[in-house]
Amino acid sequence: MKVLVYGAGVIGCYLTHVLCAAGNDVTLLARGKWKDTLETRGLEIRHHLQRRTTLDRPRIIGAIPDERFDAAFAVLPYHQMPDILGDLAAVDSPLVVPVGNNFSPAEMERAIKARSKAPKTVLFGFQATAGEHQAERIVCERLGAGTMDIGALHALPSRDLRLSLEAAFRGTGYRLHWQSDMEAYLICHAAAILPIGYAVYADGGDLRASTPAQRKAMMAASREAYDMLAAQGLPIRPVGDDGFYRGGAKYAAMKLLYFLMGKTEMGDLIACAHCRRASREMELIDEGFAEVRAKTPDFPMPAWDALRASMPPWEEIHRTYGGTRPGA
């Protein structure tokens, strides 16, 4: 398969690595000094948990080329996605997949299709990997070979399309989890990650300063958020994910994950690194979730409110971590 990956951050680079490993013809769009580094040195990834380093040589470009691709993945922070919708419409590909946090997928889909000269299928994905961007390489944190939750706004893609995309990852161990409602999935994902972000910012960007009480509050806040979404009639996606915050074996597993996030380098790469480098994106997710919550203003969320109130104002967070307010 001939694939374009638009965006060479941590997520886009690991996606590129997997697609290369599967034998696809992969083109990676990058910009600035990082583009120069990729062209000179190749794509070097240090796989932290696996304790190994890989080097791939995808084709590197700096602008949309005049050629056809079988699929195009767009992997940029949410606040940067509006700036590239014209490019995604212009790329000659029957399939476009924005990947990552997203609180306006329906608007993005409409914009891409309205500007495209030929019909396009638009899916949305979320890749379960993390890490940090260093000067000459990516450090990737992942469990197993990685996964992507993927689907259309409110439906499963056709069987033929699913089989075609699965073939692009064959032999790598990377798994596609097909979702029937990605709009609901992306809202539910915010319910899981925002309390973590609030705590990261409250703890000065490092969850190793977190307390057991704070980690318990993070889980309680997510449980409240899932309950609020269910009260609105939103389908919980992935199905059963709210069970990780309600007790039993799932709760115990999530409690362990929160401990690791708060006490290990792995946890810092999973949670804190993203919050430090993407404060603008986190603010937009916070604002988007507040709009969803406003539909049921009387639904009680005391743990959520207390945790959010514990962090500094967004303006101070942006000054601390080098960001600016979205749109500024």
What is the phi/psi pair of residue 126, to 5°? -140, 120
Domain chopping of the chain, boundaries: 2-180, 184-321
What is the phi/psi pair of residue 71, to 5°? -155, 150
pTM here is 0.95
What tokens appear for 266 in the block?
């792995």
- Count of C-beta atoms within a 10 Å radius of residue 92: 16
Looking at residue 323, what is its pLDDT? 60
Q: How far does the chain reach from its first CA to its final CA, in angstroms?
A: 39
Looking at residue 327, what is its pLDDT? 33
Residues 313, 197: Cα–Cα separation, whole Å: 13
Q: What is the CA radius of gyration of the chain?
A: 19
Topology of the domain covering 2-180? Rossmann fold (3.40.50)
Residues 46, 271: Cα–Cα separation, whole Å: 18
pLDDT in tens, the chain (328 residues): 999 999 999 999 999 999 999 999 999 999 999 999 999 999 999 999 999 999 999 999 999 999 999 999 999 999 999 999 999 999 999 999 999 999 999 999 999 999 999 999 999 999 999 999 999 999 999 999 999 999 999 999 999 999 999 999 999 999 999 999 999 999 999 999 999 999 999 999 999 999 999 999 999 999 999 999 999 999 999 999 999 999 999 999 999 989 988 888 888 888 899 999 999 999 999 999 999 999 999 999 999 999 999 999 999 999 999 864 333 2
Residues 317, 297: Cα–Cα separation, whole Å: 26
Q: Residue 140 forms beta bridges with which residues?
A: 47, 131
In sign, the C-alpha dihedral spanning 245, 258, 221, 148 is: negative
Query: Is residue 127 within 8 Å of 150, Cβ to Cβ?
Result: no
Looking at residue 328, what is its pLDDT? 28
Query: Is residue 301 within 8 Å of 294, Cβ to Cβ?
Result: no
Would you call 26 helix, strand, or coil by DSSP? Answer: strand
Would you call 241 helix, strand, or coil by DSSP? Answer: helix
Residues 207, 257: Cα–Cα separation, whole Å: 12
